[in-house]
């Protein structure tokens, strides 16, 4: 059985094709979900791809939040459905309040497009369980607003509850500093590159796993994350509506 995964397409999405391709490589049946449609067509998981949804007008991700498809994605997420937001998709999830925190303008003000390294902080989640041996993953970033922000109490809570999924690290695997460290491309607080919600079924990250899913792209370090998502969605579909994912993931 191939599992059906939806990739939301907003006006301005530009990583939707890459994501569909990576999902196809991972053995899923990828499906485009147009922003004006309210039906999720029975998918077992949803990925919000990178890009500039609605031109990133006002604030990155905010206009997309109010689209018909996002109302359905929010309901799907609140019902335990598996949702992953990459880059702009992460910004949309944050604006929608589906993952904690906010993404601010990069500390250095510049749009950055280059490879960075992240460490998988939580290897036993639906998003990371097939990420491979614990080593820094080399993935590209491409964003202008990726500086993860939350107040100190929220940050402490995220760390305590294992909601920090990814952190920017240096080549040797040590955690990047918040300021003046090229390993932390946007100045994210506590070098946080990706988080998940408290329930554990919604996650977002700034780097692009789908752009590092084949050796021909220069790195396939991201493919393990795509495969994790597909496997978890498949397991969730089998075990009815995505419950008990954590157990299956181990």
Partner 1 sequence: MTAEYRFAVNVTPKPGILDPQGRAVEGSLDHLGIAGVSAVRVGRRVELSVAAADEAAARAVVERLAAELLSNPLIEAFGVELLQATSSTTSDARAGTAEAGAR
210 to 249: interface string for partner 1, x by CB under 8 A: ----------------------------------------
CA distance 84 to 48: 6
Q: For residue 56, state whether it binds partner 1 (rule: CB under 8 A).
A: no
Q: How far is the CB of 72 from partner 1 (least distance, A)?
A: 19
Q: How far is the CB of 105 from partner 1 (least distance, A)?
A: 5
What would the two tokens of residue 112 be? Answer: 């950055």
CA distance 195 to 175: 16
Return the residue of 102, 112, 177, 248 that touches partner 1, per CB under 8 A: 102
Nearest by Cα to 116 from 205, 7, 23: 205
What would the two tokens of residue 158 be? Answer: 């995220």
Q: For residue 66, state whether it binds partner 1 (rule: CB under 8 A).
A: yes
Please identify, among the stretches 69-77, 80-88, 144-152, 219-227, the one whose residues bind partner 1 according to the rule CB under 8 A.
144-152
163 to 202: interface string for partner 1, x by CB under 8 A: ------------------------x---------------
For residues 169 and 176, the answer to whether their CB atoms sit within 8 Å is yes
Q: Which residues are catalytic?
A: 87, 208, 210
Return the residue of 101, 204, 209, 242 that touches partner 1, per CB under 8 A: 101
Q: How far is the CB of 66 from partner 1 (least distance, A)?
A: 7
Contacts of residue 248, Cβ cutoff 8 Å, sequence gap at least 6: 232, 235, 236, 239
Q: How far is the CB of 103 from partner 1 (least distance, A)?
A: 9
For residues 225 and 122, the answer to whether their CB atoms sit within 8 Å is no
At 167, give phi and psi (nearest 5°).
Answer: -130, 145
For residues 99 and 148, the answer to whether their CB atoms sit within 8 Å is no
The region, left, alpha or beta by phi > 0 then psi within -120 to 50, assigned to residue 58 is left
Q: How far is the CB of 250 from partner 1 (least distance, A)?
A: 33
At 7, give phi and psi (nearest 5°).
Answer: -120, 115
Q: For residue 144, state whether it binds partner 1 (rule: CB under 8 A).
A: no
Q: Which residues in this chain contact partner 1 in the complex, by CB under 8 A? A: 58-59, 62, 66, 95, 101-102, 104-109, 147, 149-151, 187
């Amino acid at each position: 059985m191939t599992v059906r995964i939806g990739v939301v397409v907003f006006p301005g999405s530009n990583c939707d094709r890459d994501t569909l391709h990576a999902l196809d490589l991972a053995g899923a049946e990828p499906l485009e979900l147009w922003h004006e449609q309210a039906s999720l067509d029975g998918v077992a998981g949803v990925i919000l791809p990178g890009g500039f949804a609605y031109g990133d007008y006002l604030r990155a991700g905010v206009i997309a939040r109010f689209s018909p498809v996002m109302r359905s994605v929010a309901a799907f997420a609140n019902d335990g459905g598996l949702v992953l937001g990459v880059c702009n998709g992460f910004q949309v999830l944050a604006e929608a309040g589906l993952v904690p925190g906010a993404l601010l303008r990069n500390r250095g003000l510049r749009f950055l497009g280059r490879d960075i390294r992240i460490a998988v902080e939580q290897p036993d989640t639906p998003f990371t369980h097939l990420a491979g041996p614990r080593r820094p993953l080399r993935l590209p970033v491409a964003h202008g607003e990726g500086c993860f922000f939350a107040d100190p109490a929220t940050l402490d809570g995220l760390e305590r509850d294992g909601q920090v999924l990814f952190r920017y690290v240096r080549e040797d695997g040590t955690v990047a500093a918040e300021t003046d460290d090229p390993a932390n491309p946007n100045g994210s607080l506590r070098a946080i590159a990706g988080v998940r919600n408290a329930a554990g079924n919604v996650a977002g990250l700034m780097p692009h796993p789908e752009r590092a899913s084949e050796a021909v792209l220069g790195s396939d370090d991201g493919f393990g994350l795509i495969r994790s998502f597909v496997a978890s969605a498949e397991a969730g579909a089998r075990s009815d509506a995505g419950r008990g994912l954590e157990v299956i993931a181990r």
